[in-house]
Structure 1
Amino acid sequence: MNHTSPYDSPRTLWALTIAFLVIWFYMLGARTLVPTDEGRYAEMAREMLASGDWITLRLNGIKYFEKPPLQNWMNALTFTIFGLGDWQARLWTGLNGLLGVAAVAYTGSKIFNRRIGITSALVLGSSFYWAGMSHVNSLDMGLSGMMTLSLCGLLVAQNASKDSRTERNAMLVCWLGMALATMSKGLIGFVLPGAVLVIYTAVTRDLRLWTRLHMGKGLVLFFAVTAPWFILIALRNPEHPHFFFIHEHFDRFTSDVHKRGGAWYYFFPFLILGIVPWLGTLLQGLWSGVRDNNPGFQPRKMLLIWVAFLFFFFSISGSKLPGYILPVFPALALLIAWHFEQAGNRPAKLAAVSLVLIGIAGLAGLSVYLKTLDANTDAIDHALAINYAPWLATASALCIAGGLLAWFMAHKNVASKDWSLIVLAAAGFLAGQIAFLGHDPWGKYIAGSNYIQSIKTELTQPDTPIYAVGRYEQALPFYLQKTTILVEFPDEMQFGLEHEPQLWIPKREDFIVQWQAHQDKGEAAIAILRNDIYEILKKDNFPMRVIAQDPRRVIVANLVNKNK
């Protein structure tokens, strides 16, 4: 029997890598952009490209200062090169996900050994949350990719010989990662890595690390990357610094100003789901960090502190969203990979059993959910749920099959254990992508993208206005390549509208007057209405005709083109 490990076969590793990349890049464009994040950041980049203003960020034509510009810059650059589209809007986050996988593979090989590097790439690349969020156009993966760069740079630098070229270059990568993380999502890009460094020093009582940070060169690099934009936007928009640094950082963390609170255990389900298919080794991987008492630099302890502190930080924050804990997964991947290497075949068996149980739980949960659908369920939601069920069933069945196969393989030699890890990674990755792909019809419904052609038919002139009455559609402006005029609902653009009040219509009565003026002048106009508002306007004989309607919105045009 051939006992050669797949880890020792370049041909096998290349084949797996190519297959993984083909699926990875295909999935970037396989689904509609789903609100809110995906539509928002695609539209902001489109507006940036259309306006030529790469300094003042805007959403729906309105100043939008919640986050720094890196992701918008990268998306706008992608649109410049490849044109507008779904995969183009997700390319930056997809590349950040791959960057994280490559970074942990390189770092695991440098600070531990080659086998741990390969396993850590398998773990991270197949983890449900990392692989899934890499295919979502949101800031969380952009931040996570850059923070992974800073973490891995620090680990490699501190593991290298003192004053060596590797130490210097790796620390500069760390500083660059913090700078780009700051440009991705704000001050947490350097505050969180800095806090981890302080905690690690306090726990290990090892101050030598501070003499190896290359702080002079690092600070020059950090401010060279971050300072220019912050200075320029403050000069052009004096209101930016207070809103960005106080409201978006201090107020967001200490209060529920954004209405995104959650209990202290909010992130535990996302951690458990996110690490699938490796849930069976999560605690053991974390424990390996506790047991790192080697003299000198202790990389596993730093990884544990990274996971624990980031998880704690976001758990006590007044603002919580599922993607916030993404930066912990690269550190978890390295810890789990180290545990796999040290503990024989047992961890692979545990991971396999947990994946089988997850698959069984998925099928059981799906069955219970379908039974809850009844005559009171909205017809569209009912149809979408029925349509989605086979995809979720397939993903669950794949988890069961992959877990069983991996369990049988893990009973043999080391080479078979390595194959079992590959099977686990493949099953988990494919199951996650199948679940994502099957959600697309629901995503189209949420985005309203099925109505794009109907709306475009009514856009008879380039200046035909689209009003958003009582709601704001995050994805449609991107697909229509056209901003909307907000009516009585500022949504998340309230701050910008306080400084540019001429860009919206605060009162419905004024909208009605303006709509009638369009009608009287023979000018076409479109409105996307909240359903209750539509019913009110309908009773008042509002001059409109419905061009699309569902339980989320009603899209109407005036009567100028009624014979179309």
Structure 2
Amino acid sequence: MRDLIEKHPYWTILILWGCVFLAHLGVLYPNIMEARNFITAREMLTEGNWILTTMDGLPRYEKPPLPTWLTAFSGALFGFKSLAGLRLPAAFITLVLLFVMYALSRKLTHNKTYALVTTLVLGTSFYIIFAGRNGTWDIFAHSFMLLGIYFLFQFFETSWQLYTNSLLAGLFIGLSFMSKGPVSHYALLLPFLIAYGVIYRFADFRKKWVPLALMILIITILSAWWGYYIYLFDADDATRIAEKESGRWIDYETKPFYYYWSFFTQSGIWTIPGFICLLYPYLKSRVSNLKAYQFVLLWTLASLLLLSIIPTKKSRYLLPVLIPLAMTIGFYMEYLFLYFKTTTRRWETWPVYFNYGLIATIGIAFPIGAFLYLGPQLEGHYVSYILTSIALVCVGVFLFIQLRKKNFAKVFYGTISFILFTVALGFPLANALLGNPEYETFSELKKSSLPILTLDNLTPELVWEYGEITKHTSMSELRQQQQLDSIMVLTTFEKDKTRLDSLRSDYSVEWKGTVDLNPLDSTRSSYKDRLKSDYYLLSRN
């Protein structure tokens, strides 16, 4: 098995991608970040707002438009009712990320096995899976940036094809900015430059200044043109949004400096290896390429430190750290491939037995655990449940057998199979967790022939479900409304509905229904009032 996998690395990566990032893309409801992006993409097609981007008809300049363009093209091809089609660009750019990770790791070490292991670790890390299966823009920024870093690394390391490497590095670093502004430049590129400068040094630049200047020029043009355009044609809104966004990095979701110190847990199944690979005194005498290990370790820690300096912190902001972390984990995995069978030190083998024994136990216990937890909710999902149970039990047994034999390579690839089967076979079981008897879309409201006005700005999920730009109004505009005798008014569920009582001198106000997009019922802790909206019939007296 190992020989077959390592002999065909690109096919292995492609199979991983298909199982983990392509399967069941349309299962989950869109989250708030996806809804914002999908609305903007839809309005590119319906309203022609390709550069001066909008959300529900209002300016949305918080993020550059490149991923939204790609999503709009996918929406035009597959239709905006297809969540899988809208998420497909993120899945494809993740495939690019995986292939580039393999190429960069191989360039760094000239070791095919290390490169493949690193790529498989990255592709099965929790937050990479989350980002690659969602229509959010972080994965685009970091994938384009890693492409740029790949050519930048070659630019630094070689004296041939200088202009080709500088042009391609400039192009992809610029496209990263076009995806999410300077986020990846700060969190991925700058740490790379720090680590490279410390470990490899910037040497022999006598012939490189001109192509380097050309690279910087390309990055500047690609990074600046959209911002310049919106300031040129919509300066007021651009300034207002820029001030709001800059403030959010200082006083929004502020967390202490040490908030990210458990960052390796974001790799999910690689949490324990992710911690061990950071123990430099332990691994420095065990890795096959000390200089490369020092480089990726410093890259990881520099990225973590730079992100920790920023007051605003969220778990998902750690996504770029997982890229060099996967390369760091790869060195620990490579060491276990070579020496786990012969090592006799208990303190060294115990973490391996614990980590992969736990994964094996979860696999074997899955059928009973899922049955007890889901119970009647398994109705309609038995095929997925049975297939997943068989696959995970087999993987669990396989892992225990290989651990007993101390064949770590097969343990590693068995762990990769665990993730593949969990997503490819078990992901539809997520629907068994859902169920809201009060779930209601806008279908009933839209049967009305009356004009529909929105009193408050609806949340992005509601606007996405509404399917078009809503017609905004205010209390004062409703009072002055003289042209229409009867109208339907949508209100945000969180707001005080008694405001409508002040209109009773002009209108009769009748509650007609509630839109509720919560996939879970109101007894669950994740139930959100912001996903609800009441609508009323207002008839002039």
TM interval, shorter chain, is 0.7 to 0.9
1:45 pairs with 2:41? yes
In 1, Cα distance between equivalents of 2:497 and 2:29: 26
User: Residue 135 of structure 1: CA displacement?
Assistant: 0.9
Say which SS state the counterpart of residue 137 (structure 1) adopts: coil
User: Residue 361 of structure 1: CA displacement?
Assistant: 8.9
5+ long unaligned stretches in structure 2: 341-347, 523-528
Say which SS state the counterpart of residue 278 (structure 1) adopts: helix
8 Å contact from structure 1 (residues 131, 429) kept in 2: no
Select which of 65, 76, 94 maps to 1:80. 76
User: Residue 93 of structure 1: CA displacement?
Assistant: 1.5
Q: Which has the higher contact order (CA 8 A, sep 6+)?
A: 1
Select which of 555, 559, 562 maps to 2:534. 555
Partner of 1:339: 332
Partner of 1:542: 509
| Alignment root-mean-square deviation, CA | 4.6
1:454 pairs with 2:444? yes
In 1, Cα distance between equivalents of 2:470 and 2:400: 55
Partner of 1:97: 94
8 Å contact from structure 2 (residues 94, 132) kept in 1: yes
| Distance verdict in 2 for CA 1:204–1:245, change over 3 Å | farther
Select which of 480, 483, 496 maps to 2:469. 483
In 1, Cα distance between equivalents of 2:262 and 2:393: 20
Q: How does 1:391-540 map to 2 (within 5 A)?
A: 402=395, 405-410=398-403, 412=405, 416-431=407-422, 437-440=428-431, 450-458=440-448, 460=449, 464-467=451-454, 469=456, 472-485=458-471, 505=474, 509-510=475-476, 513=479, 521-523=485-487, 525-530=488-493, 533-534=496-497
1:316 pairs with 2:309? yes
| Distance verdict in 2 for CA 1:280–1:351, change over 3 Å | farther
User: Residue 168 of structure 1: CA displacement?
Assistant: 4.9
| Distance verdict in 2 for CA 1:271–1:511, change over 3 Å | farther
User: Residue 547 of structure 1: CA displacement?
Assistant: 4.8
Q: How does 1:233-248 map to 2 (within 5 A)?
A: 233-239=230-236, 242-243=239-240, 247-248=244-245
Residue by residue, what CA displacement relative to the aligned partner does 1:343-376 show, whole Å, maximum 9, x if unpaired? 4253998456325436879999xx99xx9x9xxx
User: Residue 326 of structure 1: CA displacement?
Assistant: 0.7
8 Å contact from structure 1 (residues 93, 137) kept in 2: yes
Residue by residue, what CA displacement relative to the aligned partner does 1:380-432 show, whole Å, maximum 9, x if unpaired? xxx999999x999999998787466335325548xx53332221112134436
User: Residue 313 of structure 1: CA displacement?
Assistant: 2.3
TM-score, L = length of structure 1: 0.75
Identical amino acids, percent of aligned pairs:
18
In 2, Cα distance between equivalents of 1:352 and 1:24: 29
5+ long unaligned stretches in structure 1: 374-382, 486-502
| Distance verdict in 2 for CA 1:170–1:350, change over 3 Å | farther
Say which SS state the counterpart of residue 542 (structure 1) adopts: strand
| Distance verdict in 2 for CA 1:475–1:411, change over 3 Å | same
One-letter code aligned to 1:183: M
User: Residue 443 of structure 1: CA displacement?
Assistant: 7.5
1:183 pairs with 2:174? no
Q: How does 1:37-436 map to 2 (within 5 A)?
A: 37-84=33-80, 85-112=82-109, 113-159=111-157, 162-165=158-161, 168-193=163-188, 195-197=190-192, 199-200=194-195, 203-204=198-199, 206-208=201-203, 214-239=211-236, 242-243=239-240, 247-249=244-246, 251-253=247-249, 255-256=250-251, 258=252, 260-268=253-261, 271-272=264-265, 274-287=266-279, 291=284, 298-343=291-336, 344=338, 346=340, 350=351, 353-357=354-358, 402=395, 405-410=398-403, 412=405, 416-431=407-422
Partner of 1:499: none
| Distance verdict in 2 for CA 1:124–1:204, change over 3 Å | closer
In 2, Cα distance between equivalents of 1:155 and 1:203: 14
In 2, Cα distance between equivalents of 1:307 and 1:396: 36
One-letter code aligned to 1:478: W
| Distance verdict in 2 for CA 1:199–1:7, change over 3 Å | same
Q: Which moved more, 1:350-359 or 1:118-127?
A: 350-359
In 2, Cα distance between equivalents of 1:384 and 1:208: 62
